[in-house]
A = this chain, B = another copy of it.
Amino acid sequence: MKGPYQFQCDYIAGCAPQILQALVQTNLEEVPGYGEDRFCRTAAERIRKACGAEDAGVFFFAGGTICNLSIIAAVLRPWQGVLAAASGHIFAHETGAIEATGHKVLVIDSADGKVTARAVRKAVEDCRNNSARIFLVEPAMLYISNPTEFGTLYSLAELEELSAVCREYGLFFYVDGARLAYALAAGEAKLTDYARLTDAFCIGGTKCGALGCEALVITHKETAETFLSAQRQRGALLSKGRLAGVSFSVFFENGLYEQIGRRAVSQAMQLKEAFQKAGIPLYVDSPTNQQFVLLPEKAEEALLAALAELSA
């Protein structure tokens, strides 16, 4: 099928054909509900293996926001909050979902969507050294998204620094990887690094070629042990797990997940280069599939016209 071509975001497409095919092939098989089916088990096994984390808990969700709010609310005590960039999805784009679970998102300094270990350290120290600290929400968790909402990427060294400062201060380190496929393609950090450096991270499916599912990997033992109840309470446990199970089984069978990421990043780089050659400035220099450019009005009109023609 040809056009209309759309570029607004990475969830306008359907899903990887391999997933659909597997859904068709397994459709008549009867399996138990609530994630106890063989597809979810296989998916979890493959994810654990890819992460080099055989004891990790793996939990499936229908979307990113509910994954974020479930893990954050499960980890924090009532008087604790989560550190994030002002551009962080949980602060800027989730309609107060974290606050609705009773927790404050504590904004720290960031640049191009990225926070630094120094900013994390400062936030914790400022709170601990404040004589009025019982009036402050206690920072107990760090949230980052990778890639960020701007498409930028934390380097492996940056992730290691963030992990180190979190461990030094006893913060839970959570990475929202709604677009993790593109981070894996564009950056040095591998799944094993995420598993090694964080307490929990999300492997995005919806924005990486699935029909609507995410996998949450929890390496923090105590959290993983009680998480099923926490997930269930938020309405986040899938009664029919097979969609997520089949999707992630396929993603992680023959490297499909990474392959999708690489293809998208490679295509985005072609777009980026084209814009740069045409002298169109970038809003931010992003190495991933999210590209934001500062398009003059005329250029926008011309592009839209060309696109309409292509899609006709």
Which A residues have a C-beta under 8 Å from some C-beta of B?
A: 1, 4-6, 8-9, 11-15, 17, 20, 23-24, 26-34, 62-70, 73-74, 77-79, 81, 92-97, 99-104, 132, 134-138, 206-207, 211-212, 226, 228-230, 232-240, 242-243
> Are B242 and A14 closer than 8 Å at their CB atoms?
yes
Nearest residue (CB) in B for A7 is: B30
How far is the CB of A147 from the nearest CB of chain B, in Å?
16
Q: Given the complex, which residues of B lie within 8 Å of A4, measured CB to CB?
A: 30
Q: How far is B233's CA from A230's CA once the two chains are assembled, in angstroms?
A: 17
**Closest beta carbon of chain B to A209's beta carbon, Å:** 10
The verdict on A242 contacting B24 (CB below 8 Å), with A30-B4, A228-B134, A234-B100 known, is: no
User: Would you give the shortest CB distance from A122 to chain B, in whole angstroms?
Assistant: 17
A239 and B11 within 8 A (CB): yes
Most interface-central of A27, A28, A79 (chain B CB within 10 A): A79
Distance in angstroms from A162 CB to nearest chain B CB is: 23
When chains A and B are docked, how far (Å) is the Cα of A211 from the Cα of B24?
11
Number of identical protomers: 4
Closest CB in chain B relative to A36 CB, distance in Å: 10
* With A100-B233, A101-B102 already in contact, 20 other A-B pairs whose C-beta atoms are closer than 8 Å: A1-B28, A9-B33, A14-B23, A14-B26, A14-B27, A20-B24, A62-B63, A65-B232, A69-B234, A79-B96, A79-B229, A81-B96, A95-B232, A96-B233, A97-B232, A97-B235, A206-B240, A212-B238, A212-B239, A234-B234
User: Which B-chain residue is minimally distant from A70 (CB atoms)?
Assistant: B235
Instruction: Give A74 to B164 CA distance when docked, in angstroms.
Output: 29
A63 and B238 contact, Cβ closer than 8 Å, known pairs A30-B6, A94-B232, A95-B135: yes
Given contacts A14-B23, A100-B234, contact A135 B32 (CB under 8 A): no
Q: Given A211-B23, A229-B134, A242-B14: A66 and B66 within 8 A (CB)?
A: yes
Of the residues B12, B28, B228, contact of A30 by C-beta under 8 Å: B12
* Cross-chain contact A28 with B12 (CB below 8 angstroms): no
CA distance A171 to B68 in the complex (A): 29
With A66-B236, A102-B99 known as contacts, the answer to whether A78 contacts B211 (CB < 8 A) is: no
Does A240 contact B226, Cβ atoms closer than 8 Å?
no
Residues in B neighbouring A99, C-beta threshold 8 A: 81, 99, 102-104, 137
On chain B, the residues within 8 Å of A242 by CB distance are 14, 211
Could you tell me the distance between the alpha carbons of A64 and B68 in the complex, rounded to whole angstroms? 19
